[in-house]
Amino acid sequence: MSQKIESHLVENRVFKPSKEFSKAARISSMAQYKRLYKESIDKPATFWAREAKELVWQKPWKKVLDWKAPFAKWFVGAKVNVCENCVDRHLDGPRRNKAAIIWEGEPGEKRTLTYQQLHREVCRFANVLEARGVKAKERVLIYMPMVPEAAIAMLACARIGAVHNVVFGGFSAESIIDRLDDSESTTVITADGGYRRGKIVPLKASVDEALKKYKKVERVFVYQRTGEKTTMKRGRDLWWHEEVASASGKHTPKGFDSEHPLFILYTSGSTGKPKGILHTSGGYLVGTYVSSKYIFDMQDDDVYWCTADVGWITGHSYITYGPLANGITQVMYEGAPNYPDFGRLWDMVEEYGVTTFYTAPTAIRAFIKAGDKFPESRDLSSLRLLGSVGEPINPEAWMWYHDKIGGGRCPIVDTWWQTETGAIMISPLPGCTPCKPGTATLPFFGVDAAILDETGQECKANEGGKLVIRKPWPSMLRTIYGDKTRYKKTYWNDYPGMYTAGDGARRDKDGNFWIVGRLDDVLNVSGHRLGTAEVESALVSHKAVAEAAVVGKPHEIKGQAVVAFLTLKEGIASSDKMKVELRNHVGKVIGAIAKPDAIHITPALPKTRSGKIMRRLLKELVATGKVSGNVTTLEDYSVIAALQKELGK
């Protein structure tokens, strides 16, 4: 059987940035991009040293890169404080009184923190941590709602050299135990609760449950968010507001080695032992600073909004570190995008004059399903740039985003990257890159990306293979925490000296990268290897479909049968006729080989609280009719019962 991943989806629409946008952009032409990209690949030390000099270093580096595959050291010998670069360095000029974070709680409260105020709050909490005995390199688990204090906690850890380990607020007590145990954390920072769809998520209660089993935590800081009754253990649990009340708002940032560990972040969806991705200080800071600056074309008057949670890598890199290092004003929102309805985010765009909006394809498809009336009744004219993150965006969702949210005038930066890469790796630059809906387009500066076949040969145009990065980059992961052997085996085992991303991809004749899905999501159908993302994209291109998820089911003749789960747009009814029409539509868009063997139309798909479709559960359902795996991150349990009923028909 052929090992090549086949790609059948064709997209010929091209959107170039407007002359007006290009004229004011940091990178304004393809010639400029190509010149800088060539330098970043051929002379990486020259390129990265020039960019890094825009930041504050307490001691300069002796060497830009020390590379002994698969282990890298960047800005060798330098001393740096990541927090100083995100906060302190903005205080000497006009940014001192500029809004750093504009926050809105789900119930509607509003707060604004200037850079000066953010600095004071970070210093106060850094002093609290030190006074309570938290030392450099100690691991600190953060389990918080989306409040400014989540970012303040991260920055305070970075300031004193403690290693933060942020756990998404939707994870269970069991997930907390796994992460505490693997990282050997001694400190927890949490809140009494947070708001989600009008309900209180009891965060401290989950921490208490976890600490019944994990006994090594010495101190728990609790931020008071919701005010409901909270159990506090004497000698261990400390109220945030009481601790900071008498703490000094001044704190001197100490310089740490460029390779000092900054944070551990556990990859979601991993099975067995958690996989703690370790990122260090200097290279990660440079990678997030530079990618934020160029990919989001950050300007001093921007109001930027990344809708991610700080519990994910997107929230680390493009809420806490990259934007703040650039001195940008950003919006932060606590709750669900559809509370009280799907107009919530667009109300905020209008109220705060958001210029840059960065969200996930999953959210975009949910907005499409909710109907055009929500964005059409709001003034979104402040927007100048849109972004997409988290998974490949299908062309029809891209077009809706472009037309309905961007008004046809905003470039879209469709970004590909991972927890492991630390920063965006493939993306358009909004002032110069011609965009085709559905492609992440071209590699970012310093990223030597390629698509290889099983023998290590580079694939031809439109030939699917494995996506690899052939050279080190500053924000790359340094190891899997406590497990160098697993690090080598997981990421560096397929091709000598090259990072394997775990994604299948192809390049078109213009050099654009198309991600066709995770390699473990590739379907083997009658000797053909098909990416699930392409079949899903074909389904969503039908005018009736809002969202789709495709999985394989064992088939004695074909190897795997293609099973599709999908939701329809508002006002469209399910029918057998509709299913036939959708099968034929996939055949027309991709080819007969990709026609789903079964189509299940359902009111909702199983998702995590962050909005990712849990395809693993769908695979279990089609194979066994039930779900036996971990479902603690599932947002709505009733979805599984509805799917079981649908499959039982």
Task: Give the least confident one: 42-46, 178-182, 355-359, 378-382.
Answer: 178-182
372-376, 426-430, 527-531, 584-588: range with lowest mean pLDDT? 527-531
Average pLDDT on 113-142 reads 98
Mean of the pLDDT values across residues 544-548?
93
Determine the Cα angle at 299 with ends 295 and 303, to 5°.
95
> The CATH number of the domain where 526 resides is what?
3.30.300.30
User: In the chain, what percentage of residues exceed pLDDT 70?
Assistant: 96
Please determine, for residue 272, whether its predicted confidence score (pLDDT) is greater than 80.
Answer: no
Q: What does the pLDDT read at residue 637?
A: 78
Q: What is the pLDDT of residue 269?
A: 41
pLDDT-based confidence at 610, cuts 50/70/90?
A: low
User: Residue for token digits 């600073």?
Assistant: 289
Domains: count for the chain = 1
pLDDT band for 271, please (50, 70, 90 cuts).
very low
Neighbours of 231 (CB within 10 A): 10
CA distance 216 to 197: 34
DSSP annotation of 521 reads G
Give, for 344, the enclosing helix (H) or strand (E): helix 344-352
State the average pLDDT for the chain.
Answer: 93
Which tokens belong to 648?
A: 């039982």
Q: Check whether 560 has a pLDDT greater than 80.
A: yes
Which neighbouring-strand residues pair with 603?
none
pLDDT bracket for residue 531 (50, 70, 90): confident
Condensed to tens digits (0 to 9), the pLDDT of residues 140-165 reads 999 999 999 999 999 999 999 999 99
Q: What is the pLDDT of residues 463-511, one digit of tens each?
A: 999 999 999 999 999 999 999 999 999 999 999 999 999 999 999 999 9
Per-residue confidence band for 644, with pLDDT thresholds at 50, 70 and 90: confident
Predicted pLDDT at 265: 97
- HSE (CB half, 13 Å, CA atoms) of 184? 4
pLDDT at 287 over 90: yes
CA–CA gap between residue 508 and residue 565 (Å, rounded): 29
* Separation CA 600–CA 647 (nearest Å): 7
For residue 48 the two structure tokens come to 């990265």
Contacts 24+ apart (CB under 8 A), 551-556: 551/521, 551/615, 551/618, 551/619, 551/622, 552/523, 552/524, 552/525, 552/619, 553/597, 553/598, 553/622, 553/623, 554/623, 555/597
Predicted local distance difference test score (pLDDT) of residue 223: 98
Decide if 488 is inside a domain. no
Across residues 119-130, what is the average pLDDT?
A: 98
226-263 tens-digit pLDDT: 999 999 999 999 999 999 999 999 999 999 999 999 99
Select the more confidently predicted residue: 272 or 278.
278
Query: pLDDT, tens digit, for every residue of 7-57?
Result: 666 788 999 999 999 999 999 999 999 999 999 999 999 999 999 999 999
pLDDT at 516: 83
Confidence (pLDDT) at 620 = 87
Digit-coded pLDDT (tens) for 211-232? 999 999 999 999 999 999 999 9
Q: Is 630 helix (H, G, I), strand (E, B) or coil?
A: coil
- Give 398's pLDDT tier (boundaries 50, 70, 90): very high
Please report, rounded to a whole number, the percentage of residues in the chain having pLDDT higher than 90: 78
Is the pLDDT score of 1 beyond 50? no
Provide the pLDDT confidence category of residue 559 given band limits of 50, 70 and 90.
Answer: confident
- Residue 229 maps to a domain: no
Partnered with residue 63 across adjacent β-strands are 76
- Determine, yes or no, domain membership for 476: no
* Inside any domain, residue 211: no
What is the Cα–Cα distance from 181 to 274, expressed in whole angstroms? 10
- Percent helix / strand / coil, the chain, rounded to 5: 35, 25, 45
Position 588 scores a pLDDT of: 84
For residues 582-587, average pLDDT: 92
Confidence class of residue 624 from pLDDT cuts 50, 70 and 90? confident
Q: Is the peptide bond before 596 cis (omega within 30 degrees of 0)?
A: no
pLDDT exceeds cutoff 60 at 268: no
Cα–chain center distance at 503: 15
Average pLDDT score over residue span 65-81: 98
Residue 505 lies in a domain: no
At position 183, the amino acid (one-letter code) is S
pLDDT of 635 reads 75
Confidence check: pLDDT of 413 > 60: yes
pLDDT of residue 345: 97
Q: What is the pLDDT of residue 2?
A: 46
In a domain, 531, yes or no: yes
For tokens 């998520």, what's the residue?
A: 201
**What is the phi/psi pair of residue 408, to 5°?**
75, 0
User: Structural domain of residue 549, as residue ranges?
Assistant: 522-647
For 408, the token pair is: 């046809």
**The predicted structure's pLDDT at residue 491:** 96
pLDDT at position 7 is 65
Residue 390 — very low, low, confident or very high, per pLDDT cuts 50/70/90? confident
48 occurs within a structural domain: no
What is the average per-residue pLDDT within 423-451?
A: 97
Residue 597 CA to residue 562 CA, distance in Å, equals 5
Q: How far apart, in whole angstroms, are the C-alpha atoms of residue 87 and residue 643? A: 48
Q: What is the pLDDT of residue 270?
A: 40
